[in-house]
Amino acid sequence: MDINIETIEHIKRTFIDLAIQFGPKMLVAIAIMVAGVFVGRWVGRVMAGALRKFDMEPPVRDLLVRIVRILVLGIFVIMALQNLGVELLPLIAGLGVAGAGIALAMQGVLGNVVAGLTIIFTKPFRVGEYISIVGVEGKVENISIFSSTLTHTDMSRVVVPNRKIVGEILHNYGSIRQLDLAVNVAYDTDLNKAISTINEILQNNPLVLKDPAPVIAVSVLNDFSINIAVKPWVNVTDFVPAGGEINKAIVETYRGRNIVIPFPQREVRMLA
């Protein structure tokens, strides 16, 4: 029983000695860390305000602000460790070894980070543009360090890891897209009348852009009809509804003006 009491007393004395020796330093270190968090946030806000004056993509601006915050916090961490009397050189060496192991274990994540930085600084596409890449397409909603988010025309979201984008063939439509429509007319149709009717329909449609001008031309001479290509430009957001409206207007207007849209047919003759 006396041994247990002595052990407890020894633990108490040791704890008190450690508290007296390291307590003030620990409190100062905590205060330094807290100050570092607040200073980092303040510097980040100041830098974010300054960067808004430049023509810079939001992902680039956010990345620079985060880097500055991390650097400021890192300086305060070093100050806190020095206050505690921690030897920094062995710590840095240990972190280097641990970092190498972590890098090997997180090759995919680091690949996304490197690819994200490449996308942010080379700018193959920007937020708001419509792109097609690795079998998916959509409007770019967000570009982050790890992935890029696209909004598909069916309102679904497509999240693409950045490492899947860099090095692939990318089709950037920008903010407008060209519709690829077609209508067939009979061979005895007045082509000038058919083409001018389509041009009138496109000019009256508010979703069709006037610049660049729509492309309307005879494209194919089929067995039973003449194919007229209809290729107007529209905004990315109007791509789906514009196609439906134009097709509907062409059918209704052709009917009203007696312009025949033929259907496939074969003439069979029986010889006696």
Predicted local confidence at residue 77, as pLDDT: 79
Predicted local confidence at residue 192, as pLDDT: 92
Average pLDDT, the chain: 80
Q: pTM of the prediction? A: 0.60
Predicted local confidence at residue 98, as pLDDT: 58
Greatest CA span in the chain, whole angstroms? Answer: 129
Three-state DSSP class for residue 160: strand
pLDDT at 267 over 80: no
* Residues in Cβ contact with 174 at an 8 Å cutoff, skipping those fewer than 6 apart: 129, 130
Predicted local confidence at residue 261, as pLDDT: 86
Helix, strand, coil abundance in the chain, percent, nearest 5? 55, 20, 25
Mean pLDDT of 203-226: 90
Predicted local confidence at residue 231, as pLDDT: 94
Predicted local confidence at residue 133, as pLDDT: 85
Three-state DSSP class for residue 216: strand
Q: Token pair for residue 54? A: 């430049």
Domains and CATH numbers, the chain: 2-86 (no CATH), 125-174 (2.30.30.60), 176-256 (3.30.70.100)
Q: Token pair for residue 99? A: 């970092």
Rounded to an integer, what distance in angstroms lies between the CA atom of residue 264 and that of residue 272?
26
More confident residue, 98 or 190: 190
pLDDT at 127 over 70: yes
Determine what percent of the chain is predicted with pLDDT higher than 70.
77
